[in-house]
Structure 1
């Protein structure tokens, strides 16, 4: 332990570690209540809060959120462990629901903003500590209080100096993240705008029709599990296999295969088919792929097969311009049916040479866009790692430089 630093359990470092209330929701009045959606990226989004009718169920005073409290998401895979500190005063009373834990530091031993950074430091450990079945992961109060060790300087002024460095460093990182995200979105928007213009601005020599009159629509088929093989004649895809390595843009393989002798030829999607998820939450991913090899799929996938007078890649780009999330119908489980696809208007040049030129232009711009997206995503990943590195130094006693020097060393 570094000289002048202490170590304790989180429970010993806090005055309160408790879940929020089970709310009685009301629309317009009542106390504001924060939920897990409100806790993201180490900040609290109050716009996602709802209202609780405190006349039906009183909120204990200790569960009214205070300045300096850290909110910890405490249920659910993917949400559990996210933390955010309350760093601004409220204009009204605020509490949290039962899926969020209020962690209140002892003000006698913490400069409050230091405690917030300390909780961010252990966020990944908290996220990995849940117990229970998949999708029902829970973080108990006792686990949070007893199983996590925290280290901090005994000197409040030293804590305050560390916070000053972290505030400036994190502000610089946030600015860099905002710039990278803006560039990423711009690159995507440029391609989308070009794609939209290339396939919607009809000219002389173009044909306009509907997808149902032009193309063949096909859905997957049910295949007995015992016919699936680790290798074989034909890749057999389920929706998850659209993300199989190498299938990021076009389908070349799968995690499972079939032998041609085991299935009907009518179940095969030929080369050049554009496929996409047709059922359930996977529709929201808006994924489309073009087949580079004949494949077979399960019932959750639909394919659109182009006619001989339409280049398969041009049809694929046409569907890249379609938001599948707007098509899904169904009460509890979204589903795309043939009647959702058939009436779609499609225009294309009759000349195969002109079709080829459009595809070549889109391919070139697409490659450039993917390179840019890769660069910006790598930068965002690097900035995330930089935050972790700075926090590591802060809590190992290595962060002693002035803010400007720390930012310069980080390249910000």
Structure 2
């Protein structure tokens, strides 16, 4: 449900499957809403569509009295209320009694159509502005990535090229094994793949281990200046362990400890660039999910200049990244503003304030 009209679904069901399942066939033109996964989303069906128990259809008792786009816009106007009513430990959901309790506006059919026409016109203008803002957002992301890739793809001929293993004191892997019963509420930060973002360590959802377990995991110990590299999921994503994280350990990450001749941030630059990601992808293994293993990391052919030139390029990268980040934030703020304006118009429409 990524748009107001659902034209195509990821999966299909046969007539026999429909007859032998609990799925319900909903006619084209009707409104459906998510009641579990994707809570708060709603759309109009372009075709007859089968739905399961996680989707509810809003079928009017008197079809000729309800404009379906009016119904859709109304659902969108109470989206926050629907999300807030969700319950459940892992996946939030709402129950049928709550849906039935939502107060549908008592508005004449002709007035419904007038409100829809006004909103359609306003949203068409908002959609054009939103498309432009999203295009600018993509440009801001591509600006930095394009510069980063050019550094390594078009590097001067005098740069040396060596295997990554020859430029590091050590390349190893974090702890691999069951962890569910080893986490503690405090202690040594224990990084996982989701904690490694391009160029930064994200401690927002970090786990912890106690001192006793940490003492068993010397091989996966992280030090400031180490380069932590995602091994599975988004292989090659890399960040340098910062000075303000003096003690940490990790699971299922490749750990590179550069020698003095290799600037850690320069290595992270390479791995986070499209050029580096392509090289990592070529050396990753696995059918369903790709893995970037220690052996593959050691065999990466790495081109690099002298240390002073590396420092200069790293400083240029930080300035470029800061500029791109400011552009990104400006574009994202514009997108947030346009989305909030849409919700404000919906609230006005269903409060009777739209003229």
Q: Same fold (TM over 0.5)?
A: yes
Alpha-carbon distance change, 56 to 275 in structure 1, aligned in 2, over 3 angstroms: closer
* Pairs aligned (count): 341
Pairing of 1:293-312 with structure 2 (within 5 A): 293=243, 294-312=246-264
Q: Which residue of 1 aligns with 2:28?
A: 66
Return the match for 1:249 from 178, 193, 200: 200
Paired residues of 2:186 and 2:208 also in contact (CA < 8 A): yes
Structure 1 SS opposite 2:327: helix
In the alignment, the residues of structure 1 paired with residue 10 and residue 172 of structure 2 have an alpha-carbon distance, to the nearest angstrom, of 44
Alpha-carbon distance change, 168 to 269 in structure 1, aligned in 2, over 3 angstroms: same
Q: Which residue of 2 aligns with 1:363?
A: 318
Alpha-carbon distance change, 82 to 287 in structure 1, aligned in 2, over 3 angstroms: farther
Deviations 1:304-348 (A, max 9, x none): 222211111101111112449947655777643213323322211
Q: Which residue of 2 aligns with 1:54?
A: 15
Q: Which residue of 2 aligns with 1:119?
A: 75
Q: Aligned pair 1:158/2:114, yes or no?
A: no
Pairing of 1:244-283 with structure 2 (within 5 A): 249-250=200-201, 256=208, 263=215, 267-279=220-232, 283=233
Paired residues of 2:86 and 2:93 also in contact (CA < 8 A): yes
Pairing of 1:198-277 with structure 2 (within 5 A): 198-215=151-168, 216-221=170-175, 230=186, 235-239=189-193, 241-242=195-196, 249-250=200-201, 256=208, 263=215, 267-277=220-230
Which deviates further from its counterpart, 338-347 or 261-270?
A: 261-270
Structure 2 SS opposite 1:346: strand
1:373 CA drift (Å): 0.7
Q: Which residue of 2 aligns with 1:375?
A: 330
Paired residues of 1:314 and 1:355 also in contact (CA < 8 A): yes
Give me the CA root mean square deviation. 3.6
In the alignment, the residues of structure 2 paired with residue 387 and residue 337 of structure 1 have an alpha-carbon distance, to the nearest angstrom, of 47
Alpha-carbon distance change, 97 to 217 in structure 1, aligned in 2, over 3 angstroms: same
Paired residues of 2:34 and 2:54 also in contact (CA < 8 A): yes
In the alignment, the residues of structure 2 paired with residue 240 and residue 198 of structure 1 have an alpha-carbon distance, to the nearest angstrom, of 27
Alpha-carbon distance change, 148 to 250 in structure 1, aligned in 2, over 3 angstroms: same
Q: Aligned pair 1:81/2:18, yes or no?
A: no
Alpha-carbon distance change, 285 to 306 in structure 1, aligned in 2, over 3 angstroms: closer
Q: Which residue of 2 aligns with 1:340?
A: 296
Which deviates further from its counterpart, 215-224 or 315-324?
A: 215-224
Deviations 1:345-389 (A, max 9, x none): 22111x222212211221111110011111111111111111111
Structure 2 SS opposite 1:202: coil
Structure 2, unmatched stretches of 5+, are none
Alpha-carbon distance change, 238 to 117 in structure 1, aligned in 2, over 3 angstroms: same
Structure 2 SS opposite 1:205: coil
Normalising to structure 1: TM-score of the pair? Answer: 0.71
Pairing of 1:364-403 with structure 2 (within 5 A): 364-400=319-355
Paired residues of 1:65 and 1:102 also in contact (CA < 8 A): no
Alpha-carbon distance change, 277 to 355 in structure 1, aligned in 2, over 3 angstroms: closer
Normalising to structure 2: TM-score of the pair? Answer: 0.81
